[in-house]
Amino acid sequence: MEKEKFVGLDHLRAVAILLVFLYHYRMFEHPEWVDAIGWIGWTGVDLFFVLSGFLISNQLFREISLHGDIRLKTFFTKRFLRIIPPYLFTLLLYFCFPIFREREALPPLWKFLSFTQNFGLDVINQGTFSHAWSLCIEEQFYLALPVLLLFLIRIKQIKHLKIIFVLVMIFTFLLRVFSWNMYVLPNLAMPDFWKEWYRNIYYPTYTRLDGLAIGALIGVLFQSSTFKTMISRNGNLLVFTGIAAIAFSLWFCKDPYSQQASLFGFSMVALSYGILVAGAISGTAFLSRKANLITTQLAALSYSIYLSHKGVIHLVQLFLGKIKIPVSNTPGLLICFSFCVLAGLFYRYCIEKPAVTFKNKILNKLNRDS
């Protein structure tokens, strides 16, 4: 079975990394227009969640359709050598070279290595490399999903997956309701209540599973010829509906700390991006018809840029300040983004490509032994 290439998803991944870049760029010196549009960038992570949920679940379902099972060694070898080498290199930069840190303090190393940094994250006092919180959630998902699928295969209940993912979304919403009432609501009168909001609403895995569950649900539905026919007939309609839904969700979440945004906003954003992703994987949508060199390359570099961009922006602005080049204007932003892309290229050729070569050797050995 030939591996499917979803050109439309490359465009969306490029959009996601641009959103994240603009959102985080606000913590550095920046032009005024970044404040006007950068606030929507928090949804870039939610788009990454939906994309990851779909791509990983679709990969696993292909495995099940080919082999009737999941080869855990193969799956975890691929995930480990895709995710871990660039991540460990970034940790090396942060822990061994303090100049790379965009802030003063880091959480303990064990939290990064165990992918539990997103739990109880103190973004004020230990905010350096705080954006690794989303990677923690994705890694936990990569561990849990194949184990869940294997369990359902063994008990012959794989047909109930759609219900399970819907229940995950409902359970996630209920946990946000609980966290809001237990931790945020009692502190609303405090000027720094938002610390509790981040710690108990924004960062924990159990309150942020909407996007991954939506993406995985699309992965389940994508195994159905009926669903494929539906999205094929309505590709552009789904794309434009998704864009409209995203616009409405952003209006709804204009104040992200509000009760309505905290309880319903994440689900709305995830559903909106889910509709957009469903359109993007349709062969008839304009997003899927033609690859673009820029978005293809940005998509390929998105993980390494995501890991390194805060440290790179910090270093570039330090250097530009020393040579008396302004950093609070648009040219300064473009210079910083260009260096983020260069850092991504360094990761690709010096870290990711050797890891791919090593991965292929291991996979060939596993295939020979199986």
Distance CA 45, CA 131 (A): 10
Residue 21 is predicted with a pLDDT of: 98
Distance CA 42, CA 248 (A): 15
Residues 6+ apart with CB under 8 A from 318: 99
Is the pTM value of this prediction over 0.85? yes
As given in the structure block, the two tokens for residue 160 are: 């109930």
| Residue from 291, 230, 244, 299 nearest 272 by CA | 244
Ranges of the chain with pLDDT below 70: 1-4, 370
Q: Assess contact for 314 and 28: CB atoms under 8 A.
A: yes
As given in the structure block, the two tokens for residue 310 are: 């805060």
As given in the structure block, the two tokens for residue 318 are: 């330090």
Residue 114 is predicted with a pLDDT of: 97
| Residue from 179, 180, 178, 144 nearest 164 by CA | 144
Domain ranges across the chain: 7-369
Q: Whole-angstrom distance between the N-terminal and C-terminal Cα of the chain?
A: 19
